[in-house]
Amino acid sequence: MTVAAHPFRTVGRLREVRSALPRLQLLIATALAVLAIGLAACGGSDAGTDEHAGHEPSAATSSTASTASAEEATAAFVRQMIPHHQMAIEMAKAALKRSKRPEVTKLARAVVAAQSEEIAKLKTIAEAQGIDIADPSGAEADDAKALGLDQGAMGMDMNMQALETGDVDRAFLDLMVPHHDGALAMAAAVLNAGATGEVQTLAEGIVKTQAAEIAEMQTWREAWFGDDPAATAPPADEAGHEGHDMGDMK
């Protein structure tokens, strides 16, 4: 995988991955609380919430108070979720090139398929609502504020070089878990802000799908590498590789 061909920012150090996550059976109850908040903000509807699997919040989902309107939060979510999904697709493609584990390759294919489809939906929403998606990187700080999140909580900074060397399965799991965590934080934030219609449906789908995938990846990680983050995290990019601007992604 040639990172320079894909305009993702490479950072010097991967955020610490949590030592453990609850298993899928514990995620369902958490999701009800996450989605209930978002649905209450949308008018109190609770239809379908029992279908959604959630995820226990972590340090990566830290938030700050937001005074943004539902419209502003929606624009922020749409603008930032497009490059966020594009980054996940590139990580998945890297795993498909090098992984020999059927579990990882199956998940990677699912990520590529699902998130490619969601990118198309996000672009359609952006066009319909007049949301400017030309410079997501330049708008990232303001969009994080609109969502009531710390900027780092969105999971946009990943050491992509870790997927090119060493154990690709270990790197994939330890990058994709916090990356998915960022998607959950963004989805919960836009639901809390009162998102409706297609954005609400999309955000709820992200909560359900990616929380389940986090649980699956944590199970594999513990089984294959042990559950100590220090032992399983991919090496930090100490060489200081050149970063890339995500603003060109549309």
CB 70 within 8 A of CB 196: yes
What is the per-residue pLDDT for 218? 95
CATH of domain 70-234: 1.20.1260.10
- pLDDT (tens digit, 9 = 90+) per residue, 18-54? 333 344 434 444 444 444 434 443 443 343 333 334 4
**Torsion on CA atoms 238, 239, 240, 245, rounded to nearest 10:** -110
Residue 237: which pLDDT band, with cuts at 50, 70 and 90? very low
Residue 112 confidence (pLDDT) above 70: yes
What is the per-residue pLDDT for 68? 81
Q: What percent of the chain has pLDDT over 70?
A: 64
Q: How far is CA 99 from CA 24, 46, 164, in A?
A: 24, 41, 11
H or E element at residue 169: helix 168-192
What is the per-residue pLDDT for 64? 56
Residue type present at position 162: A
- pLDDT (tens digit, 9 = 90+) per residue, 202-214? 999 999 999 999 9
Q: Average pLDDT of 98-127?
A: 98
- DSSP conformational letter for 174: H
For the entire predicted model, the pTM comes to: 0.72
Residue type present at position 49: T
CB 185 within 8 A of CB 97: no
Contacts of 81 (CB under 8 A, 6+ apart): 118, 122, 183, 186, 206
Q: How far is CA 165 from CA 88, 237, 250, in A?
A: 18, 11, 28
Q: 3-class DSSP state for residue 149?
A: strand
Q: How far apart are CA 85 and CA 91, in angstroms?
A: 10
Residue with tokens 């699997």: 53
Residue 232 confidence (pLDDT) above 80: no
The DSSP secondary structure of 25-93, one letter per residue, reads HHHHHHHHHHHHHHHHHTTS--TTGGG-------GGG-B------HHHHHHHHHHHHHHHHHHHHHHHH
Supply the angle between the helices 197-225 and 102-129 in degrees, to the nearest 10.
Answer: 160
Contacts of 12 (CB under 8 A, 6+ apart): 159, 236, 237, 238, 240
Q: How far apart are CA 185 and CA 180, in angstroms?
A: 9
The domains of the chain are located at 70-234
Q: How far apart are CA 58 and CA 124, in angstroms?
A: 31
Residue 114 confidence (pLDDT) above 60: yes
Residue with the larger pLDDT of the pair 228 and 241: 228
Rounded to an integer, what is the distance from CA 178 to the centroid of its chain? 7
Q: Average pLDDT of 97-106?
A: 97
